[in-house]
Amino acid sequence: TDRYCVFGHPVGHSRSPRIHKAFAEQFGAEIAYEAIEAPLDGFAGAWRDFVNHGGKGGNVTVPFKEDAYRLADVLSPRARRAGAVNTLVLGKQGDTYGDTTDGIGLVRDLQAHAAPLEGARILVLGAGGAVRGVLEPLLAARPAVLMIANRTADKARQLADDFADLGETTGGGFDEIVGTFDLVVNGTSASLGGELPPLPDDLFADAALAYDMMYGAEPTVFLRWAAEHGARTVDGLGMLIEQAAESYFLWRNRRPETGPVRELLRSEI
C-alpha cells in the first residue's frame, strides 16, 4: 500500500484524506492517506520521518508551504514562481520534488463554472501567499487586465510588479479599484474573521462571477455581499478538490474525476 499524507498545523479538519481516498476508489487502488500535524519548527523532520516509513508523497497546507519550498531538492517552475509548495513527491533516487497545484486547481474550478477568463477584467483581493500562488495560471488564461487590491496597498503593487512579465497587471489599495470586473476572486483571509474588505457597490460587470477561495457550510460574508450586488457566486470547495486531483496525478499518473467528489463533499459539509 502506497502511503501519502497531508502536513498541516492544525490539520485535524483537513478534507484531503477524504478526497484522496475517494480518488483512489475510482481506480480500485489501495492507498493510505493520513493527516500529520507536524511541529511548527519541525516540518523537515516530519517529512524525513514520513519518507523513512514508506511515504511516497505529501500535501502541504498552512503554515508549511514555504517550509516545503525550502526543503524541496527540485522545484517545478510554477512552484518557484509561487514561492510555495503544496505537493511533495519522493523521487526514485530519494530526492524530494516540490510542486504547487493550488493555482491550476483554482483555474480548473473556474473553468468548471464557466467563469469569464480570456479577455476578462479580473480583480483579485489580497496579496498574501494564497494570492501569489494563483497568479501565474490566472494570467496564463489571458485576461484583458488583472488588478490586485489589498489592505496594504504596497504589497499589491509589489505583487503586480512581480508578475508584470506575464500580462497586464496593476496593484493598489481597495480605494484604488476603478471600473467593473467580470471576475472577482477573494484571496484574503478576511472571510475567516467574518470581515469584508471595503469594496465599491458598482464592482461587478454584467454576468460577473464572484469566487471565494474559502468555503464553509455557510456562504462567506464576501459571497453574500456579492450575491446582493448581482454577481453569481462560487466558493472554494471545488478549488480544494481540483488541486487535490492534480496532486494525485503527480503521484500516481492518473487523473481522477472531480465532479462526483465535489458532490460527495458538498453533501458532507
Smallest gap from residue 154 Cβ to ligand ATR (A)? 9
Question: Counting contacts by CB under 6 A, is residue 157 touching ligand ATR?
Answer: no
User: Binder to ligand ATR among 40, 70, 152, 263 (CB under 6 A)?
Assistant: 152
Q: Applying CB under 6 A, which part among 39-47, 88-96, 121-129, 224-232 lies near ligand ATR?
A: 121-129
Question: Counting contacts by CB under 6 A, is residue 135 touching ligand ATR?
Answer: no
Closer residue to ligand ATR (CB): 147 or 261: 147
Which residues, including other chains, have CB under 8 Å from residue 52's CB and lie 6 or more apart? none
Task: Show the 3-state SS of 89-137.
Answer: EECCCCCEEEECCHHHHHHHHHHHCCCCCCCCEEEEECCCHHHHCCHHH
Closer residue to ligand ATR (CB): 65 or 252: 65
User: Binder to ligand ATR among 155, 157, 252, 262 (CB under 6 A)?
Assistant: 155
Q: Name the catalytic one among 21, 65, 92, 155.
A: 65
User: Binder to ligand ATR among 128, 173, 216, 219 (CB under 6 A)?
Assistant: 128
56 is catalytic: no
Q: Which amino acid is at 158?
A: Q
Question: Counting contacts by CB under 6 A, is residue 142 touching ligand ATR?
Answer: no
Contact present, 234 and 259 (Cβ < 8 Å):
no
Which residues, including other chains, have CB under 8 Å from residue 239's CB and lie 6 or more apart? 102, 105, 106, 109, 213
Q: Applying CB under 6 A, which part among 16-24, 35-43, 151-159, 175-183 lies near ligand ATR?
A: 151-159
Residue that has been written with the C-alpha cell 523513512 in this structure: 52
Question: Counting contacts by CB under 6 A, is residue 195 touching ligand ATR?
Answer: yes
Question: Counting contacts by CB under 6 A, is residue 190 touching ligand ATR?
Answer: yes
Query: How long is the chain?
Result: 269
What stretches of the chain adopt beta strand conformation (E)?
Answer: 2-8, 31-37, 55-60, 74-75, 87-90, 96-99, 121-125, 145-149, 169-172, 181-186, 204-212, 232-234
Contact present, 69 and 75 (Cβ < 8 Å):
yes
Question: Counting contacts by CB under 6 A, is residue 197 touching ligand ATR?
Answer: yes
Q: Binding residues for ligand ATR, how many (CB under 6 A)?
A: 16
Q: Which residues are catalytic?
A: 65
Residues that bind ligand ATR (CB under 6 A): 126-131, 150-152, 155, 188-190, 193, 195, 197
